[in-house]
Amino acid sequence: MVKTKDSRSDTNHADNLAECAKLLVKMLRFYQINWVAECTIEDILTDLDGFEAIEFFNDKLTRGLLVHLSQFKEFPELKALHCWFDLEVGKISEPLLDLISLKAALREFKGECEICQPKPDSNRKVA
C-alpha cells in the first residue's frame, strides 16, 4: 500500500494514482478496440504522432502507477514491462481494465514508486 510519513500526502498520492488509472483505462480501452494485437503502445503513439499521450505515458505518476500495479500478483502481464510503451494491445483485456479500475476505486496500490519513496534527509550530513 502507498505509505509515507505524512498521511495527508498518502491520500493525495493515492487519489492522484486513482485519477491516473482512470485515464489509463480509457486510453487502453481505445487502443484495444482500434489496433491489432501485435502493436505496442509505442507503435500506436508513433503512428498517431500522439504527443499528449506520449507525455502521459512518460509522466512520473503514470510510470509510478505501473510500479504500484505490477506489485500485485493479479497483474502478471505488467510485471514484465519496463514501461507502458512496451504493453502489447493483445495483452489488454477487459478483466485487466476492470481490475485496474477496481484498484483505482479502492485506492489500493502496493509498493513504492519514485514519487512515494522516502526522500533522503537533506539536513543529514554525509561523513
pLDDT above 70 coverage of the chain, percent: 84
Q: How far apart are CA 108 and CA 30, in angstroms?
A: 24
pLDDT 10s digits, 30-80: 999 999 999 999 999 988 777 889 999 999 999 999 999 999 999 999 999
pLDDT-derived band at 118, boundaries 50, 70, 90: confident
Q: Is 73 in contact with 67 (CB distance < 8 Å)? A: no
The set of residues, in sequence order, having a beta carbon less than 8 Å from that of 43 and lying 6+ positions away, is: 35
pTM: 0.82
Q: Which of 49, 46, 35 is nearest to 88 (CA)?
A: 35
Residue 27 above 90 pLDDT?
yes
Q: What is the pLDDT of residue 123?
A: 54
Reduce the DSSP state of residue 121 to 3 states and report it. Answer: coil
Residue 3 above 50 pLDDT?
no
Residue ranges of the domains in the chain?
Answer: 7-106
Q: What is the pLDDT of residue 126?
A: 43
Q: What is the pLDDT of residue 127?
A: 40
